[in-house]
Structure 1
């Protein structure tokens, strides 16, 4: 029988790791295959154990979660969820930009934690409009970044793909995108795939970042 979703936990606080491990380990479809106390250990553990999902604390000794996320996302197929204490932690932006698929507050409800792991393992991104999208908007408002290179040139997109990117920036699900664009969910998946491929993006979280950076979505404007 398959072990289900293989997960790595990385946090310098043992009690935090133990609590998360207990919650996830109680699920029949999730297995915690390794734990790490810092980013260096996390990168090595991903290499050795090949988990599908890594939960990384933002702030850790030796190597922080941002650098660990960058290395993990660049070298492996493992998807990363960042753990943070504050919903306005500036470091989370860098982690998302490095390839993380989303983030969770350490105060997250257990059901939401389990759901997040399943969603990210399935290849989706953790895009709660009231959390991740607002965080990105707030950080870009205070830390604007200039787009550069072909991955930021929106002229490679068709009109419908630009609209898809704008709606992605608002955190819409595939079903909501289909309703907004008056197309089927299958067509939505094609549009989203085209946007990610043409802009050289890893996932929907990075698409949200680009939507803000390029001005398709205005920080402070509606996100849901």
Structure 2
């Protein structure tokens, strides 16, 4: 099956490079190019991409606002957004992921890893670049700890809270299944349920919630019991 990709970046050279990369990769087709966020929103509605590669800093409408509008649109299925930027500031990352973006990559990411990331997100699998993303989320959470999600967290079962903690550490469903001695299908069901209870649209949002709510402590041990 072909993955349909929309590319939004205000720099023509970078946009052309991403288009060339995706076009040259079997299994991908580029359905549109946008030079600003407003164009990205319009093209997402017209072309119904599976994945949007979204720059953050763009004229007319920035990538975060564009992501919000694309994910709020009444489309089915909703496209997945990967934030691709030169700016690795935690505020950018967490705001974008909080708006529903499925992952985050820096523009100096090697081409093969960009392709792998698009494939993974299109399949709904894992949070991208956990070594980068989790570090930035930890930094952000240390400065911006909030308790607004605590009431909703009370809706989770003990098992769901435990799985949210492991998701927060960046573990995949397979790794969580191994850790808790469960089937991967069971873990996937728990993840779906906790995301529905917390009104989350992406696994990345679950990571942000885990840190902001204190389920995961910045600097905590990934392998802690």
C-alpha separation in 2, matches of 1:202 and 1:125: 13
Partner SS, residue 123 of structure 1: coil
| Cross-structure match for 1:145 | 146
User: Does the 8 Å contact 2:105/2:128 carry over to 1?
Assistant: no
Cα distance in 2 for partners of 1:129, 1:79 equals 17
User: How many residue pairs get matched?
Assistant: 220
Which residue of structure 1 lines up, in the alignment, with residue 17 of structure 2? Answer: 19
- Closer/same/farther in 2, CA of residues 180 and 68 from structure 1, 3 Å limit: same
Residue 175 in structure 1 maps to residue 174 in structure 2:
yes
Q: CA, structure 1 residues 113+78, in 2 after alignment: closer, same or farther (shift >3 Å)?
A: same
Contact 2:22–2:29, Cα closer than 8 Å, also in 1 = yes
2:4 is paired with a residue whose SS is strand
Kept after mapping to 2: 8 A contact 1:8/1:55: yes
Counterpart contact for 2:37–2:65, Cα < 8 Å:
yes
SS at match of 1:156: coil
Cα separation, 2, equivalents of 1:89 and 1:138: 7
Corresponding residue number in structure 1 for 2:94? 93
**How far does the alpha carbon of each residue in 1:134-191 deviate from its partner, in whole angstroms, 9 at most, with x for none?**
2111112123334158xx5222111111100010000001111001111111111111
Give secondary structure in 1 for the equivalent of 2:26.
Answer: coil
Q: 2:181 matched to 1:185?
A: no
4+ residue segments displaced more than 3 Å: none
Does the 8 Å CA contact 2:104/2:129 hold for their aligned counterparts? no
Residue in 2 that maps onto 1:162: 161
Alignment equivalent of 1:31, drawn from 29, 32, 38: 29
Partner of 2:113: 112
| 2: CA distance, partners of 1:25 / 1:19 | 10
TM-score when scaled to structure 2? Answer: 0.92
| 1:80 equivalent in structure 2 | 81
Q: What is the alpha-carbon root mean square deviation over aligned residues?
A: 1.6
Cα separation, 2, equivalents of 1:223 and 1:102: 20
SS at match of 2:154: helix
For the Cα contact (< 8 Å) 1:102–1:205, is it kept in 2?
yes
CA–CA distance in structure 2, aligned partners of residues 63 and 114 of structure 1: 26
Distance 1:51 1:66, change over 3 A: same
Separation in 1, partners of 2:123, 2:149: 30
CA contact (8 A) 1:53 1:117 kept: yes
Asked whether 1:43 is paired with 2:50, we answer no
Greater displacement, 161-170 / 140-149:
140-149
